[in-house]
Copies of this chain bind each other. A is one copy, B any other.
Amino acid sequence: MHKFAIGVLGASGYAGRELCELVARHPAARLAFATASDRQGTRARFGGTETTFVAVEDAKLGEAQLVFSALPHGASAQWVDAAHDAGAKVVDLSADLRPGNGGSAESAEGFALAMARAPYGLTEHARDIVRSAEIVANPGCYPTVTLLALLPLVVRGLVAPGATITVNAASGVTGAGFTPKRELMFAEVADDFRPYSMGNSHRHLAEMRAVLASLGCDVDLIFTPHLLPVARGILATITVPLAEPLADVLAPWREHYAGEPFIEVSAEIPSLKDVVHRNVVRITATMAEGVRTPTVIVVAAIDNLVKGAAGQALQNANLLLGLEETLGLPV
């Protein structure tokens, strides 16, 4: 099979390493280069093959048909442009080009502007736009799990207008990156659990609000992330006030995602174990008993490094390259 040349910018973090691993094992791709400015010249094995990290400045952008950028927020946009100018298609895993970030407002207009520059690659929601794009803004991990859980309710107009949706999410520590910090050391995280970015201060909120606004959904979000003593996985527990009770509670998800290869809707409660190392979202929903406002509780789980980062990025890359969407993706 022909192998596309793929470059990875920012390959030494958790998402970057996951990308390199997926590319190296992909049946129609090969790792053309991997940059890691702080490890320049060191070697790493991905999928059984050795690679030598180069500095981002030394990456031969022109030799890649597609480039992933897993560079830090703020540092990525310029390299996305450089790779694109060099002739590559690009999937940007940073927040730089996502709606609600950078210059774009958290509004329907802001969303349209951001999409015009780089479609927001929530693949199941934007498959056709992604397919014909040159640059894709890959969603954040929390927005991926939250938006995929909410979309079936939102597009069907089932959410109570003006309601407050409460999102409590918990993530493994790889979501916090690979830069050594005291609060991420083993003895600090083990046996512990805590929220952070309380009071709606997490930067991923803008992205979620912008997407909901683009769909004309009139709701408020309260989003509280938590840090779990696990390496991988995100689970979100979402409470949604509805206009009407749902007779068949899973029906909106089953209909909306019929035939989707990476979305598993089930009456079983998902757990991190069901999704780690897989490019899937697992979703369940239950009506809350004993409350006057009809309310559905939706639970969704993903691997933050796969469906929440590198896996979804590769899913988008497959579309950009005209390949089968599921190729090389772990289910």
Q: Which residues of A contact B (CB under 8 A)?
A: 14, 48, 162, 164, 166, 168, 170, 172-174, 178, 180-182, 184-196, 198-201, 205, 220-222, 224, 226, 228-233, 235, 237, 239, 241, 269-273, 276, 284, 286-293, 295, 297, 299, 301, 331
Q: Which residue of B is nearest A206, CB measured?
A: B290
Other than A191-B272, A192-B233, A226-B237, give 14 A-B pairs with Cβ distance below 8 A.
A170-B193, A174-B187, A180-B180, A185-B185, A186-B189, A191-B231, A193-B272, A194-B269, A194-B272, A198-B297, A198-B299, A199-B287, A200-B290, A226-B235
Whether the pair B187, A185 counts as a contact (CB closer than 8 A) is no
The answer to whether A230 and B272 have CB atoms under 8 Å apart is no
Q: Which residue on chain B has the smallest CB distance to residue A201?
A: B289
Are A190 and B190 in touch, CB under 8 angstroms?
yes
Partner of A168, one of B168, B196, B199, B289: B168
Tell me which residues across on chain B come within 8 A of A168, comparing CB atoms.
Answer: 166, 168, 237
Docked Cα-Cα span, A145 to B133, in Å, equals 50
| Copies of this chain | 4
A232 to B187, CA, bound (A): 8
Complex contact B269–A195 (CB within 8 A): yes
**Does B293 contact A198, Cβ atoms closer than 8 Å?**
no
Tell me if A224 and B198 are in contact (CB < 8 A): no
Chain B hits for A230, CB < 8 A: 190-193, 229
Q: List the 7 closest pairs (A to B, CB-CB), nearest first.
A: A194-B271, A199-B286, A180-B180, A220-B291, A186-B189, A187-B231, A168-B168
Residues of B within 8 A of A284 (CB): 198
**B contact residues around A286 at 8 Å (CB):** 198-199
Chain B residue nearest to A296 (CB atoms) is B199
Say yes or no: A224 contacts B237, CB within 8 Å: yes
A–B Cβ pairs within 8 angstroms, 30 of them? A48-B331, A166-B166, A166-B239, A168-B237, A173-B185, A180-B184, A185-B185, A187-B232, A188-B273, A190-B191, A191-B276, A193-B230, A193-B235, A193-B271, A194-B273, A195-B269, A196-B269, A198-B299, A199-B288, A200-B288, A200-B289, A200-B291, A201-B289, A220-B290, A220-B291, A221-B290, A222-B288, A226-B237, A228-B228, A229-B229
Q: How far is the CA of A326 from the CA of B2 in the complex (A)?
A: 24
Nearest Cβ in chain B — how far from A188, in angstroms?
Answer: 8
A139 CA / B200 CA spacing, docked (Å): 32
Known: A170-B170, A200-B290, A224-B237. A271 touches B192 (CB 8 A): yes
